[in-house]
Structure 1
Amino acid sequence: MHGRKSSNSKEDKAKLEKVKELVHLGNNLIKKKNEKTYDKKYIESTSVILRKCPYLETLWNFRKEYFEFVQNVGTPVGDVGKGDEEADCAKHPPSEDLKTLMKNENTMVEEIVSKFNKCNELWFHKLWIIKFCLKNDLMDFSDLMNELEFCKSALYRDDRNYHCWNYRSYIIACVHIYLKSGKHGKAQNGEAQIAKGSSDERDPASTQHGNQFDVHKSNYELSKTLIERNFSNFSAWFLKYTIHESLISTENELDLIKNAIFTDPFDQSLWEFYRWFLFQKGNDKEEIFFTLLQNNCVYFFFQNLVMANLSKSKCYDENGKEITGEWGQHFVPPNNPQDSFESYVYFFKITDKHILLSDQPTCLKFCIFYYKYNLYEPEEVHYEKNVLSDLMVCHDFLREENKYEHNIVYLIDFRKFSQNEHFKILLDYDTLSRGDAKMDSKSSCLNTFTPLYKYINRSNILLNTAKHINFASLNLELENINELLLLERNCKFALFTKLEILRRLEQFDELFHLLELLKLVDSIRVEYYKDLETELRIQKKIHEYYEDSEMGDKGALDLSGLNIDSITYPFMIEAFFIPSINLSSNLISESYNGKCTINFLYNLKELNLNHNKIKSLVVLMKNLYNLKLLEKLDVSSNALANLDEDLDNYSFVLLPNLKQINISDSNLSALLNQRYKHKSVLNTYNVMQDGWRVILSKG
């Protein structure tokens, strides 16, 4: 090629002949596998090929079948006729020869891994060896510890080897399986051992080390060592996500992160961990956002969708006596409640006659059970979800019931509820201090709802800030980032982290300047920053509404013309106590997913949605089904319906207090002015026409 003669050297010809021999040998071995001919000489031949080319999964499978054949040769006659699962459960005294075979197999794999450390087939065969040995009692605790040491040495050689990281996580799971099986076996065999007058002598060293094994400490030491060797290691930083609080010093961690980001401010993995450490660490469990009281019904608001176990949740009085009542939820979506297993809002309606007759109780304790998979608890191994599921065969003790279940114990002092009309909010200021000065429950503003807004807003900020971080800490970190930006003024990671800190500190003026800078230095994500700007403008408007001493309790929140296209819970929930909201001249559509925040603003009385993108009044009303206090709705200058809509069979969700719906300048009003001009009632509403204006009215 390109004017050069192909090489005819003897060395190249010899290599080609060797390849031909290996291909012929490989084909012959595959034939023997298909014939289920398990002869030791064939297995030894596979090792010759696999040492040179470990990517041949068929040959690895041949070796697996051979070891299983060797293990099954000693199957007792009485077990031959058993079913597959029972046969798998049969326990035979482990053969020393088989133990040696598996140990040699593991050693061979480790030798090949040293040359082919990114070979997926190798790592999964190594995991198969561990699983095979566990199922057949061919290894003890020290062998599993040796595997963790092997992983450590492999990661020292290549700290970005995701095959090794993945394998290590499986070994951690295997350690927990081994420890659980040991406890189970001890409990099951205790009576038999006592009857025989003997003690359990099985691997006392393993039992001792097993009691001392701490996955958090193991993860901490490995991550610490790898990060000290190389700051730029996302996997090592990610390992820190699961480390127990007791092993972490906030001050030391922040110093380590500071050194790392000043060393390489453009390494994204450092900033990802930094933001997690500031804003998310410790927030892996669900917490109650805020609590409302209306009549004898207590509403619990969460920030995320929560799957609660209402059948198990309970309410108790201050003496520990169970209070009878009805649990319920705000369905998402409401038109199909039997499939709505999650919700943002749950409520408990007190029906206990003793409590009702004695007016309000002083205190109640709620135990709310919910289900959640927790990524940050490595000791909770979910075997059925990964490649270790076959280890559960005949090991029912691994099948833990309700292992995803957690519970919240929540105390309510009814003396701390606000005294406003309708929905009253629980103002438990002690829970919102977190090392800062306590919140001031008093306000000089004429708006009596300002303290209630501040409470919800503060709760929202704290639930989006790590447990160990307070506002003083955020200000200190802000100073460090400003110091870095003096050196690297266009570092987008530093700018975005600064934005997140300023957002929690509610420094709006500087936020908008920062957004403009981010649009320039991170132009790929300019549309994201535009959406974020819209959100911040809404937050600022709500903040200003409550701080405006002239507004009082009756003014409208003006959010018109902000290019808002969606409002998803919990965004804008701080507007809960505002009676009137103007969302006209935006881009809001009625696409229904049950998560529109407006439907959670229970106190809303007037809503203006004119000049938006609403195509169906029917779907919109599903989005607003929970606004029981809403009196006026303006949806003029929207489509609202198709021009071929059948108004004789037209219906939408009815709200109990909604007296007026403005549908002017819409397809719906056009139909009522033309094809259905004789129609005076639409879905129980009187059709009021005055020129171009069309109002649906009651009363």
Structure 2
Amino acid sequence: MHGRPRKPPTQEEQDASALKADKLRHLQSQILHFHHNKIFTKEGLEISAKLLEVNPEHYTAWNYRKLAVHHFTDKQSENAAEFESIQSILDEELRLVEAALRTNFKSYGAWHHRKWVLSKGHSSVDRELRLLGKFQKLDARNFHAWNYRRFVTALKKIPDAEELQYTTNMINDNFSNYSAWHNRSTLLSNLLEKGGKGYSEKESVFREEYDFVVQALFTDPDDQSGWFYHLWLLEQTSVLEPVLLSSWPSHGFKLCISANDNSSDQRSSPVSHFFSKTREFPFVLCFSEPVDGVSSSTVSIECDHLASSELTWTPLSANRYGFAQAWLTYLKFPDAAHTLEACPVKVTVAHLQGIISMSGTSCSQSSHLVFTVHIPSHDQNQAEEQTTDRISWKEENFSLYAAESHDADLLQSLCKLEMIRQKPNDVGWSMKVIADEIDRFRELLSLTECKIGNLTLARLLMANNSLMSLSCSHDRTDVHYEEILSLYDGLMKMDPSHICYYEDERSLVVLKQMTSSMVSLLKNSHQYQESTSSSLSSYACLRLNGLSLSRVGSMEQLLWVQMLDLSHNKIRSTEGLEALQLLSCLKLSHNKICSFTALETLRLLKSLKVLDISYNEIGAHSIDTRRYLFSSPLNHALGSDWSGGIESLDHWDAFFIFKGMSLIQLEIMGNAVVNDQLKAFLVKLMPALKWLDGESCN
């Protein structure tokens, strides 16, 4: 263990181990016989006791004893002279658990059985507390004992404030007691939720807790227990109720639905136009954190011309619990020959209670936004055949938006949160507490080089920025992005073993900084326009190439983006792009994408027509250790409707990603997986594909 060579067992040890194994096998066969035949006797209890004292992890033996206890206690009322009292039966169970715990203090089965016995209500709770005191002297950090203590104190109805003092004493004895810190967070959460005496003012409570944990951090900066508790405090301090951050279309926006993607109006101002032959467009809501409960009852949409008032809301890249930061629905106007002029759409988010975050906090602030929709009649704007010309990413096709141009003003209105809220966010006390912690950690880092101290300071600064962005009095010039980036740069040098994590966090900071002001955003915003013999394509483009990004995020202010250049970065997954429902062209060449499965979120982008994933690492690694890979189409959720046929099993991952996508242009050259067979498969899989690696598919 820990690099020390293991000595081979002696012959005596081998003989003893073989003898023990034979004994265990014999006991196991006996208890299985009793269990399967439902034979509940004292002999069966004695055999199960012998087995559990040697192997406390034998769950079948514990279950047999539970059934036996039920059998004996039921018989007790019928023939009290033949069987012992219920109390003595349960005491024997507690004795056995103690013996099993001496063999293995961390046995799940033994602790669970003891809870079961105690829940019967015939045993002394005070005795259990005394026994726990002895156990915790032997191992003060054993989380099984702490978990059992929470169970016992709940039965005895010991006040949380009293137990909080117990954790204080245990922590003062040993700052490195992670289980005590964890128990403290559980107790404090209960006290704050109840709002009892001394716990109604969050600011004073958290200031005391920060003072307490900082003593441990400054005493031993290398111990992680206190740092985890400090991180929990930071999360509790900066947590707010979820609010609506942005939408597309945004408040005050004037949207033109065009049936022709090459109309002259769209070429002059692509940001305000959306191409749709069916008069349907996506409506996206982005919240400050993942939420659930977005529905027609919680989001009210008023419009006289909508085809249907019953809308289905879909979470974009929801986690396994169904929570997502971005939610999508489609607004459709009925097909008509006449022009629809400036049709207002009024939206109220959190119209009723029901939108809730993963922490259980409800979105109580109603947000109101209004945008207008203009749809030219068919005779004014006849639909044309979709262009089949190849999109070129050459430099000469991109032009910066002028700072005072109409499009720049339009982008500013899209990126600025102007929706009407019922009340401002109350972040004052949180910002004060976090500002004090920032000063403390700057002082600590001036005295010692501490890896986790640098990381905590970066987290504090980002939390401060996030709170400022949600404050109505937010001044976007007073931020700490350069200091945060410097901290992550230092961490990558100080702790190279975790460089991927630091790169991901640094990437989010870069993106936050880029979207923090219109000045920085306009530096990366371009209009793509290319004249060809047959068409004139125009897109609102964001260029984020060559920024060393390894992760995509902070897209809430970029919902207007139609063309995105993320080439020459270190991106390993497209997760984070799902909210960009207008995205038509995406360039991901020269990144670190290792498999087609890393592109899974692109399936949510129905407008995507052009994709460049050339010169990545797809197929270069037999096993991708940097993200979850489903290994077979037969055991993954996406594989339930497998219809690719035997010939496509070699490219099943490409089948699941590209099936159903309407790509017109795809670049995949420079990846190890690319061959003629794959290219032929992709052309067959996507009938709309016109260009593959620069060559016509016709």
Which bracket does the TM-score occupy, shorter chain normalised? 0.5 to 0.7
3-state DSSP class of the match of 1:326? coil
What code does the residue aligned with 1:278 have?
L
Q: 1:484 aligns with which of 426, 444, 448?
A: 444
CA distance in 2, matches of 1:486, 1:558: 38
Is the CA contact (8 Å cut-off) linking 1:665 and 1:693 kept in structure 2? no
Is the CA contact (8 Å cut-off) linking 1:314 and 1:368 kept in structure 2? no
Q: 1:329 aligns with which of 314, 319, 324?
A: 314
CA positional deviation for 1:494:
0.7
Q: 1:366 aligns with which of 317, 327, 351?
A: 351
1:596 aligned partner: 575
CA positional deviation for 1:69:
4.6
3-state DSSP class of the match of 1:346? strand
- C-alpha change, 1:34 and 1:153, in structure 2 (3 Å) is same
Structure 1 unaligned segments of length 5 or more: list them: 1-19, 78-92, 176-208, 318-322, 334-338, 375-404, 423-442
3-state DSSP class of the match of 1:168? helix
Instruction: Give the alignment of 1:15-26 within 5 angstroms.
Output: none
1:413 counterpart = 2:405 = no
CA distance in 1, matches of 2:314, 2:605: 12
CA distance in 2, matches of 1:617, 1:29: 48
Q: 1:116 aligns with which of 84, 102, 105?
A: 102
Q: 2:484 aligns with which of 487, 500, 511?
A: 511
CA positional deviation for 1:99:
4.4
3-state DSSP class of the match of 2:102? coil
CA distance in 2, matches of 1:120, 1:111: 12
CA positional deviation for 1:444:
10
CA positional deviation for 1:623:
1.0
CA distance in 2, matches of 1:165, 1:524: 32
Question: With structure 2 as the length reference, what TM-score do the two structures score?
Answer: 0.55
What code does the residue aligned with 1:584 have?
S
Q: 2:566 aligns with which of 583, 589, 592?
A: 583
Instruction: Give the alignment of 1:286-301 within 5 angstroms.
Output: 290-293=246-249, 299-301=284-286
- C-alpha change, 1:312 and 1:32, in structure 2 (3 Å) is same
Instruction: Give the alignment of 1:143-222 within 5 angstroms.
Output: 143-144=124-125, 147=128, 150-151=131-132, 154-155=135-136, 158-171=139-152, 175=155, 216-217=160-161, 219-222=163-166
3-state DSSP class of the match of 1:413? strand
- C-alpha change, 1:59 and 1:576, in structure 2 (3 Å) is closer
CA distance in 1, matches of 2:525, 2:167: 55
Instruction: Give the alignment of 1:75-86 within 5 angstroms.
Output: none
CA distance in 1, matches of 2:173, 2:358: 33
Instruction: Give the alignment of 1:497-646 within 5 angstroms.
Output: 497-504=456-463, 505=465, 506-543=479-516, 546-547=519-520, 554=527, 556-564=541-549, 567=552, 570-578=553-561, 580-586=563-569, 596-604=575-583, 607-611=586-590, 623=602, 625-626=604-605, 628=607
- C-alpha change, 1:231 and 1:420, in structure 2 (3 Å) is farther
CA positional deviation for 1:511:
3.2
What code does the residue aligned with 2:105 have?
C
What code does the residue aligned with 1:559 have?
L
Measured against aligned partners, the alpha-carbon deviations of 1:494-536 in whole angstroms (never above 9, x if no partner) come to: 1111222334445233334333432343233234334444444
What code does the residue aligned with 2:164 have?
Y
CA positional deviation for 1:165:
1.8
3-state DSSP class of the match of 1:325? coil
3-state DSSP class of the match of 2:136? helix
CA distance in 2, matches of 1:511, 1:32: 61
CA distance in 2, matches of 1:43, 1:620: 57
- C-alpha change, 1:281 and 1:151, in structure 2 (3 Å) is farther
Q: 1:240 aligns with which of 184, 194, 218?
A: 184
CA positional deviation for 1:547:
3.3
CA distance in 2, matches of 1:513, 1:675: 47
CA distance in 2, matches of 1:637, 1:111: 62
Measured against aligned partners, the alpha-carbon deviations of 1:234-283 in whole angstroms (never above 9, x if no partner) come to: 11111233223233601101111211111111111111111221135574
- C-alpha change, 1:76 and 1:133, in structure 2 (3 Å) is farther
CA positional deviation for 1:469:
6.3
Is the CA contact (8 Å cut-off) linking 1:561 and 1:586 kept in structure 2? yes
CA distance in 1, matches of 2:602, 2:342: 37
CA distance in 2, matches of 1:557, 1:542: 11
2:261 aligned partner: none
1:252 counterpart = 2:208 = yes
Structure 2 unaligned segments of length 5 or more: list them: 1-18, 256-280, 303-307, 335-340, 376-402, 466-478, 528-539, 620-646, 652-656
- C-alpha change, 1:517 and 1:365, in structure 2 (3 Å) is closer
Instruction: Give the alignment of 1:301-450 within 5 angstroms.
Output: 301-302=286-287, 308=293, 315=300, 325-330=310-315, 332=317, 343-347=324-328, 359-361=344-346, 365-367=350-352, 369=354, 408-409=363-364, 411-414=366-369, 449-450=411-412
What code does the residue aligned with 2:227 have?
W
Is the CA contact (8 Å cut-off) linking 2:665 and 2:691 kept in structure 1? no
**Alignment RMSD (CA, Å):** 6.3
Is the CA contact (8 Å cut-off) linking 2:524 and 2:543 kept in structure 1? no
CA positional deviation for 1:480:
0.8
- C-alpha change, 1:469 and 1:631, in structure 2 (3 Å) is farther
Q: 1:98 aligns with which of 67, 85, 89?
A: 85
Identity %: 18
- C-alpha change, 1:639 and 1:286, in structure 2 (3 Å) is same
What code does the residue aligned with 1:496 have?
L
- C-alpha change, 1:59 and 1:696, in structure 2 (3 Å) is closer
Question: With structure 1 as the length reference, what TM-score do the two structures score?
Answer: 0.55
- C-alpha change, 1:585 and 1:524, in structure 2 (3 Å) is closer
